[in-house]
Structure 1
Amino acid sequence: MQAQDTAGNLGLSPSVTARVDNTPPGRVDVGLEGGDGWRNTNDFAASWTNPAENDRAPIVGATYKICSASASGTCTQTDVPGDGISRIPLQAPGPGEWTVSMWRHDAAGNTDPDAASVPVTLRYDPEPPQVSFNPPDASDPTLITAPVVDKISGLADGSIEISPAGSGTWQALKTTTDGGRLVARIDDATLPAGSYQVRATAHDQAHNEASTTQRSDGQPMTLTLPLRIATTLGAGIPRERIERTTVRRHGKRRVTQRRVTRVFHSIALALGRRAQIAGQLTNRDGQGLAGADVQVLESSETTPEHLIGDVTTDPAGRFTYTASGTTSRTLRFTYAGSAVTLPAQSSVRLVTPAASSLRVNRSRVLNGQSVTFGGHVASVPVPAGGKLVQLEVQLAGRWQTFRTVRTDQAGNWSVPYKFARTRGIQWYRFRVELPREAGYPFAAGTSKSIRVRVRGRA
């Protein structure tokens, strides 16, 4: 300011700064520290960043409004002073979901509720869920269900465990959530028989935990395994035979005979031959299970186990399966069980000897002449590098090997042989033996024998 007296003298005042701001602070984005997930402690904080505004009045406070997330929820409003404030500690008014918005005040007294931030959500649940077991269902006894009640945040996940009674060792079962319940199955076919305790543990969305070993009726959740009905599956090759028995009657010995059927679980089955396998599936009382599906799986030295067929039991629980002599193999008959019956299985071993033909180009020769033995190995595929073949001759009642050779990859072989020590007329008997070899899915086998007449000097 300038002042002048009547004499024309001028006076100047010191300068002062005038600060004018009539614009309310604008909207800023607010974030909830730690995210907006459910929490089991009432400890929240909202924060934001104040933009730089050098020509505006500084921020000196903020107002936040908390409202219930329900449509008819009430709201409360609180002023928080603070120079340059950019964070507000918060607490939810109670369990549940709440929305929070905020607007700022500047040093000029400007503020505008219409510039409130986009609301963020507080989720608070201090209460653990309630969990209990349903009693087992007689129509599906291995199914274990545990309803979970959590009225605030809701069920997140959980587990069901099983423990032999008194052991203190718990084994987790594969557990899923289905709506508002935990679901698991007990594999009573693999667990030892006995008494077991079952425990369920549930977590809600706020990480509150609850566990129980009781049913909804207050009884302890204890089970006696197995839960399902035991079954027996028998399979084998029936063979009839005559059994003779010597009995003494009236001081005399008499031989009686009767025809009996024996069931074998391992037999020798020649290449190309067939055998009928018979079996029966029964419950613990020996009653047949009708209409059950029995799968047939095969494994051998060179092939892993795989499915080759299935059969269905008749009204008495019986079934038959015709197997061929292809390789030495094990057939496993399996019943997968049902909701109320346990699985069962039985194995049959088929031992197929290797097979080869045998021929000779001449069956009558003179001493000093040669013949050529040959043949074809029918038990294929032959090993890489050919199948070992041993040519044998019968001398003094015993078979002796005198030549060995390997077949080609197609299984063909030949062996020349010259007779040099024969005197008079001799009949020689020859055969081929195919020894057992690793990686070759056949047992040791022999061919039919042939005869050669050799005439030498007397």
Structure 2
Amino acid sequence: AVSDLSGVAGGRIELRGYHGRGDWRALPTALRGGRLHAELSDDLDGAYELRARATDGAGNAGVGYGGVRTLPVRAATRLAGHLLVRARRARPGCKPAKAARCRTVATVRRQAARVARGGQVVLRATATTAAGRPLAGAEIAATLVSADGRETGLPALRTDAAGAVATVLTARRSATVRLRYAGDGRHRASEAAVELRVPAQATIAAGGPAVRAVRQLRRKAARGPWRAVAVAGRVVRFRGRVLGGAVPRAGKLVEVQAHFRGRWRTISAVRSDRRGRWSFRYRFGASPRTATYRMRARVPAEAGYPFAAGTSRPLRVTVPGARR
């Protein structure tokens, strides 16, 4: 037996399945204040026998049985997160044939949301036990992890009486929002994640000797497409810039697209410089009638680039018909 006079000098805590299932397994054990301490993993599930093997300074050894314990000791928890976004949806009761004409805007929950750069979105999370009981006063850690690996910690959040917490995020780059509840002496840790997708932004303009005029629409339609008038048969120089920064050293791939036959089609792919500036030359063929073409720049998503695919505002290029 271990002597009370010499004190505990070392030992280990062991466990095995109840009713002798399996061999005794030693747990990582530490001696603190004359007592043996070991942490039980939350991955253990079921009934287990515990015992402690200790030695004192005189070399005496002893074994103490801790009885049967049902593991895990801490209760399982559930952490759920989502983003609140405004979306168009059909009104309740609308007939399928009229669904397109009776849509309304409502706030919906999404695990992944697309938000314009500079826009804001509400992040909401709830922490409960596996049985659904809310965890009030729980601290939730939130971290933004962008596609280029950059991590940004957010201020710690604390749940209310309903186990819920909410905060407003400003969309700067595409990122995974990781939520974590560290747990406590009675509750296990849990995690959740939501996706914030910020589309890339770019500009497009037309210039060169072949362009006779470039003008913006009237103020009341300032958000509409830009317009340019080009001379048929001569080269038009399209140029623009990838906005938002984070352009790779080798430049960013940009797709120049034209809209015809009912959809956008890529007519060329170019690469910008380190500052995001790009250019492309194109020759419009002659036509007996005046033709208007819609052009745009598309910035595709790439590995390590912290933005989702995005496009520029359309540019309308009018090519006058040949005079008779």
TM-score tier (shorter)? 0.7 to 0.9
Q: How does 1:202-221 map to 2 (within 5 A)?
A: 202-212=54-64, 214-215=65-66, 221=67
How much has 1:296 moved relative to structure 2? 0.2
Change beyond 3 A, Cα 1:171–1:360 = farther
Structure 1: runs of 5 or more not aligned: 1-127, 130-149, 216-220, 248-255
Equivalent residue for 2:199, pick from 350, 353, 357: 353
Equivalent residue for 1:163, pick from 7, 11, 16: 16
Aligned 8 A contact 1:245 1:257 in 2 = no
How much has 1:236 moved relative to structure 2? 0.2
Amino acid at match of 1:397: G
Relative to the length of structure 1, the TM-score reads: 0.59
Aligned 8 A contact 2:286 2:322 in 1 = no
Cα RMSD (Å) of the superposition?
A: 2.7
SS in 2 for 1:200: strand
Amino acid at match of 1:355: Q
Partner Cα distance (2:59, 2:152) in 1: 46
Structure 2 equivalent of residue 429 of structure 1: 294
CA distances 1:221-252 after superposition (whole Å, capped 9, x unpaired): 221122123322221013464443479xxxxx
Equivalent residue for 2:32, pick from 172, 178, 194: 178
Q: Does 1:413 align with 2:278?
A: yes
How much has 1:395 moved relative to structure 2? 1.7
SS in 1 for 2:22: coil
Amino acid at match of 1:394: H
How much has 1:259 moved relative to structure 2? 8.9
Equivalent residue for 2:70, pick from 224, 230, 255: 224
Structure 1 equivalent of residue 219 of structure 2: none
Partner Cα distance (1:169, 1:245) in 2: 63
How much has 1:169 moved relative to structure 2? 4.4
Amino acid at match of 1:321: T
Change beyond 3 A, Cα 1:259–1:152 = same
Q: How does 1:220-259 map to 2 (within 5 A)?
A: 221-239=67-85, 241-245=89-93
SS in 1 for 2:154: strand
Amino acid at match of 2:92: R
Aligned 8 A contact 1:353 1:442 in 2 = yes
Change beyond 3 A, Cα 1:153–1:306 = farther
Q: Does 1:153 align with 2:6?
A: yes
CA distances 1:16-74 after superposition (whole Å, capped 9, x unpaired): xxxxxxxxxxxxxxxxxxxxxxxxxxxxxxxxxxxxxxxxxxxxxxxxxxxxxxxxxxx
Amino acid at match of 1:210: G
Partner Cα distance (1:155, 1:259) in 2: 70
Structure 1 equivalent of residue 41 of structure 2: 187
Equivalent residue for 2:232, pick from 367, 382, 387: 367
Equivalent residue for 1:266, pick from 95, 108, 112: 112
CA distances 1:205-228 after superposition (whole Å, capped 9, x unpaired): 24333223x24xxxxx22112212
Aligned 8 A contact 1:372 1:415 in 2 = yes
Greater mean alpha carbon deviation, residues 287-296 or residues 384-393: 287-296
Question: Equivalent pairs: percent with the same residue?
Answer: 34
SS in 1 for 2:128: strand
Structure 2 equivalent of residue 321 of structure 1: 167
How much has 1:305 moved relative to structure 2? 5.1
Structure 2 equivalent of residue 311 of structure 1: 157
Q: How does 1:328-347 map to 2 (within 5 A)?
A: 328-347=174-193
CA distances 1:142-193 after superposition (whole Å, capped 9, x unpaired): xxxxxxxx235331111123334344244443322222321222232xx142
Structure 1 equivalent of residue 222 of structure 2: none
Higher strand share: 2
Change beyond 3 A, Cα 1:261–1:407 = closer
Q: Does 1:197 align with 2:49?
A: yes
Partner Cα distance (2:103, 2:301) in 1: 39
How much has 1:336 moved relative to structure 2? 0.8
Relative to the length of structure 2, the TM-score reads: 0.81
Q: Does 1:390 align with 2:255?
A: yes
